[in-house]
Amino acid sequence: MASVLPYNAVKLSRYTKLLLFLITAFEKISSVHTTMKKVYIKSTLTFFLVWIYSYSNAQQQKISLKDSVDRSFDLSDYIIHANGFVPVPYILTEPALGGFGIAIAPIFIKQKPPYIDSVKGNIVYTPVAPDITGGVGLYTVNGSWLTGVFKRGTLIKSRIKYTIGGAYGDINMAFYRTIPQLGEKKFEFSIKALPVFLQAAKRIGQSNWYAGIKYLFLKTNVDYTGDSLLKPEFVKPQEYSSTVSQLGGVIELDNRDNVFTPDNGIKLHFDAEGSNKALGSDYDYWRLNYYMYAYRQLSNKLVGGLRIDGQQAFNNPPFFMLPYVNMRGIPSCRYQGNASVVTEAEFRWDFIQRWSLMFYGGTAKAFDEWDSFGQADWLYSYGTGFRYLIAKKFKLRMGIDIARGPEEFAYYIVFGSNWLK
């Protein structure tokens, strides 16, 4: 294995000068942009700087982009020798954001040593998920934009896994409500948001169970941009400029064989969070979230998956924090209520070498009270797609899904798994 090259100050200086030149040029021609849009531009250019520098190091080490066994295109060695760097240019396809956009997501993956346990005198090695550090910058055709950073990792000695992140953006999104005598109507909003998120959970003994805390801070400014003749009566005055601060506990079981594209295992999750003035919030409400992702290798070439996902809100959360149906083929926040449930199944057929076909379908409901569950309409979606095993040593697959929902078709570019929380 080639050794890692020392820090190349001359090369980095050249790339830095190029970056500064590009930033200056962009700022001169983009005087109409806001300060945060300039941050987005700088984040994008920084992404390309890191990409160029990492690729240069990989080239000097003569790292092959082909697997040594099947000679197929593979990024495993590149990820390992480029300090775990994975450049992810991304096409956004979320219907709620206009159906098309561009995202830049530089991601760093760092492998972690396993937990070492002693069970009845025997040494047991339990795999630990790799650390993932990344950023994101996105812009869509409906004018939505966002920039942010995140870190998901594990403190091996303390046996604590954690996720922390923050972002700032201006999201243009439509919400729907049924109006007496008018039927279902669309209400369009521009939501400027500053979210900060933290979750930390400690492993319980030598099991795959974890318990911990979860916190969300969310500062929002909401502007109604829809039809001036159709007032959004469901929006309370305080919701146009407010702060959400919610804290709660989380319990989780995770024995999946891989965090990117599992073949076997299960992830069970339950959290309950409260928001009130004592936490600095403008709202007083509770929110529950529970889900299960189960995977089973049915044959050498066929993997099945089952997802059950539910949310419940109590008291009076802001309209943009209400539970909604989150499923392929259905725009985000299209169907909201005080509660939502989703059931989805999928099958991955590894039909040849690194290529797989996906088949999936599901049903869901959004409703206000459990007493009215039977009266709420069932929502359906189904579709197909493909995956390519792009990094075999990490079992990381990427691909595209095409889904048909109640109203329209939608397509999604998938990094790892479509089921990620």
122-152 per-position pLDDT tens digit: 787 778 888 888 888 889 999 999 988 899 9
**Residue 283: closest CA among 248, 243, 338:** 243
**Which residues are bridge partners to 197 per DSSP?**
165, 216
Q: Which two tokens stand for residue 222?
A: 């909401």
Mean pLDDT of 183-200: 93
pLDDT of residue 10: 43
What does the buried/exposed string (b/e) look like for 316-336 if buried means 16 or more CB atoms within 10 Å of the residue's CB? ebbbbbbbbbbbbbbbbbbbb
CB neighbour list of residue 371: distance below 8 Å, 6 or more residues apart? none
- How much of the chain, in percent, has pLDDT values that exceed 70? 82
Q: Which two tokens stand for residue 195?
A: 């979210």
Name residue, tokens 């790339």: 15
Contact yes or no for 61/77 (Cβ under 8 A):
no
| Spatial distance between the Cα atoms of 42 and 22, rounded to a whole number of angstroms | 9
Among 397, 374, 376, 375, smallest CA distance to 386 is for 397
The residue type found at 217 is F
The pLDDT, as a whole number, for residue 38 is: 53
- Sorted by where each begins, the domain ranges of the chain are 147-152+165-415
User: Residues of the chain with pLDDT > 90: what percent?
Assistant: 49
Residue at 281: amino acid letter: S
Please tell me the pTM assigned to this model.
0.80
The burial class, CB within 10 Å (0-12 / 13-18 / 19+), for 391 is buried
Task: Write down the mean pLDDT value for the chain.
Answer: 84
Average pLDDT value for residue range 21-45: 48
What pLDDT does residue 215 have? 96
CATH of 147-152+165-415, one of 2.40.160.50, 3.30.1330.20, 2.60.40.10, 3.40.50.720: 2.40.160.50
pLDDT value of position 6: 38
- Under the banding of pLDDT at 50, 70 and 90, the label for residue 20 is low
